[in-house]
Amino acid sequence: MNMDAKIPGGPLEEKWSNYKKNAKLVNPANRKKIDVIVVGTGLAGSSIAASLGEMGYNVKSFCFQDSARRAHSVAAQGGVNAAKNYKNDGDSVYRMFVDTLKGGDFRAREANVYRMAECSLNLIDQAVAQGVPFGREYGGYLNNRSFGGVQVSRTFYARGQTGQQLLIGAYQALMRQVHKKTVQLFTRHEMLDLVVIDGKARGIIVRNLDTGEIERHAAHAVVLATGGFGKIYYLSTLAMGCNGSAIWRAHKKGALMASPSWTQIHPTSLPQSGDYQSKLTLMSESLRNDGRIWVPLRENEQREANAIPEEERDYYLERRYPAFGNLAPRDISSRAAKERIDAGFGVGALKNAVYLDFSKAIREQGVAKIKEKYGNLFDMYRKITGIDAYKEPMMISPAAHFSMGGLWVDYELMTTIPGLFALGEANFADHGANRLGANSLLQASVDGYFIAPYTMANYLSGEIHTGKIPTDHPAFDEAEKQVKEQLERFVHSKGTKTVDQYHKTLGKLLYDYCGLSRNESGLQFAIAEIRKLRNEFYENVHIPGTVDTMNAELEKAGRVADYLEIGELMCYDALTRKESCGAHFREEYQTPDGEAMRNDADFQFISAWEWRGKDNEPTLHKEPLVFENVKPIVRSYK
């Protein structure tokens, strides 16, 4: 297995410029001869499709929503990081690099992380030029806030809708190319398989979700920018359609999956209120800048929040992590909340939440200021819960949120299948075992605007003489046949349970055994249960209708079938990593005061998994991590 990360030589600060200096190019006249498929229209997908279109390549862009603007990047609230140092508070590319590496608990590549920080500078320029209305100071210059886990203010924001505004910028750039006919857009199309010819990615099989038709599309390179698969937990902050199918089907065609079990569980989501619930709404982490998190000191407290006096409240983050307090990184905050909830101090009807309290901030800054900063979040909170958070504290609880894991990619963002690139949340690259807040809008964007345009050209320069890729190659026949067989099998399945019921059962298993904390016997139990569940699913799921029409249940069936396989791999991943790092907390490996215990001697590597067929255990490959610039230290936020 070729797992060369292809990290360029030279000092850290010069690696990316060295790469760009030596990368091969495709001259403008030749770009017309080259076809590229981009799956996904989130920040990563829209930005690469638009950028390649501007350069003159023929691009086909796909998404499952009815408009490219609805990709789930739209839901990001808090902000996007960049090391502009506009606040003169000591920020720099290097500091951002260190923060990200440390935040990720030293389980990411130095060179990738440094490059992301370096490219952050250009991203803000690009977004502003597109008309993204970032928050500004009265003098007219861009404003910043500080965001979970760092001590400088480097987060740019557009009220609580930063993801929406950045995505609209990228979407508009994409639509501009659609109008110029450099990009062909296929909305409501779902990728169901990757086509590999002579070892190279050469196309995809998609289903038109409106008509049920199966289509073949060929290209010289394929980009997967299909986002995260945290929806595997069923209850999550992701959109209903988010899925792991595109990357999973590529995995089954030979692309390695890296660290699939590293899921960020976000500390500030709204708690679950009943079984019917379909998703957990995120309350932006930026709220932690002014909100204080607490639970009652007394177990099983019956009084309402406002009736509990100050001295009977436990501000547990401020108590345990005095240096960072309410801004402690996400994995730490979520685990601390789970610890209090499990110990019986949870609040709310189901005792599954903690308080996030703004009374101090309102006293100090006034309601108007708080309203300006977070007005839409407070409105959203009221709509969902019926509660006025200006008057009483919000109730929040942890929820599955972000996949640090994904397809393994090298420095060029290419997977182990030549010609197959993975961008944005779909790859594993930059966040290590825990992502810092506001770093993933950044990663998705820089992957698409500033990195892949260079690395893909380097690859595509070898494709100038290839000529059109034919869609009647036997590899297309075979892939299409398999896709159709699976769909037919589903619609003939008339059992007694719905797809969602299986999804919920799987989600609960993963949340309990491969969620905020994990242990060996739990993971082994989960693997056995998932296998059983998967067999039962194929015997007993009920799918109405036919394949040749719009059929939402059929769409969900394919996604859940994949989740039932991904879930098992996540458990293997967690089982074999006998250490605690970032979001991966193995109960067997903790300090006496309950902090994660990393094991650099044995686990300073990336786990990359190879598919070995349905009933076989996957094979683990290891990419050692080398730290030349920063010495891995024990993360302490005390």
Ligand X SMILES: Cc1cc2nc3c(=O)[nH]c(=O)nc-3n(C[C@H](O)[C@H](O)[C@H](O)COP(=O)(O)OP(=O)(O)OC[C@H]3O[C@@H](n4cnc5c(N)ncnc54)[C@H](O)[C@@H]3O)c2cc1C
Q: State the catalytic residues.
A: 330
| 246 contributes a contact to ligand X by CB under 6 A | yes
> Does 317 participate in binding ligand X (rule CB under 6 A)?
no
Among 90, 276, 307, 628, binds other proteins (CB under 8 A): 276
Only segment of 99-107, 125-133, 575-583, 619-627 that touches other proteins (CB under 8 A): 125-133
Number of residues that bind other proteins (CB under 8 A): 82
88 part of the interface to other proteins, by CB under 8 A: no
Q: Which of 34, 36, 41, 415 binds ligand X (CB under 6 A)?
A: 41
**C-alpha span between 551 and 555 (Å, rounded):** 7
User: Among residues 108, 173, 191, 257, which is the contact residue for ligand X, using CB under 6 A?
Assistant: 191
Pick between residue 5 and residue 124 the one whose CB is nearest to other proteins.
124
- Please state, in angstroms and rounded to a whole number, the distance separating the CA atoms of residues 382 and 399: 19
Which residue from 217, 279, 338, 621 is in contact with other proteins, where contact means CB under 8 A? Answer: 279
Compute CA 110 distance to the chain's CA centroid, rounded to the nearest angstrom: 20
In the complex, least distance from residue 269 CB atom to other proteins, rounded to whole angstroms? 10
- Please state the three-class secondary structure of 229-241 as a single string: CHHHHCCECCCCC
- Quick check: 213 binds other proteins (CB under 8 A)? no
Q: Is 470 in the site for other proteins (CB under 8 A)?
A: no
- In the complex, least distance from residue 364 CB atom to other proteins, rounded to whole angstroms: 21
- Per-residue DSSP letter, 157: -
Residue 381 · residue 392 · CB < 8 Å: no
Find the binding residues for ligand X in span 425-454 (CB under 6 A): 425-426, 438-442, 444
Name the residue type at position 80.
Answer: V
Cα dihedral 531, 537, 538, 539, rounded to 10, equals: 110
Q: Of all residues in the chain, what percent are helix, strand and coil, respectively (each to 5)?
A: 40, 15, 40
Is the Cβ–Cβ distance between 130 and 173 less than 8 Å?
yes
Residue with tokens 């009933």: 615
Closer CB to other proteins, 126 or 505, in the complex:
126
**CB of 469 vs ligand X, minimal distance in Å:** 19
Reduce the DSSP state of residue 628 to 3 states and report it.
coil
- Our finding on whether 358 is near ligand X (CB under 6 A) is no
Please say which residue, 77 or 604, places its beta carbon nearer to ligand X. Answer: 77
Pick from 88, 302, 496, 616 the residue near other proteins by CB under 8 A: 496
What secondary structure letter does DSSP report for 571? H
Compute the Cα dihedral for 94, 100, 104, 107 and give only its sign.
negative
Q: Identify residues 267-306 at the interface with ligand X (CB under 6 A).
A: 282
Task: Supply φ then ψ for residue 497, to 5 degrees.
Answer: -125, 155
State which of residues 60, 84, 109, 598 lies at the interface with other proteins (CB under 8 A): 84
- Find which of other proteins, ligand X, none residue 245 binds, CB within 5 to 8 Å per kind: ligand X
Q: From the list 25, 343, 367, 550, which residue makes contact with other proteins (rule: CB under 8 A)?
A: 550
Q: Diameter of the chain by CA atoms?
A: 75
Nearer to ligand X, 18 or 65 (CB): 65
Contact predicate 516/550, CB 8 Å: no
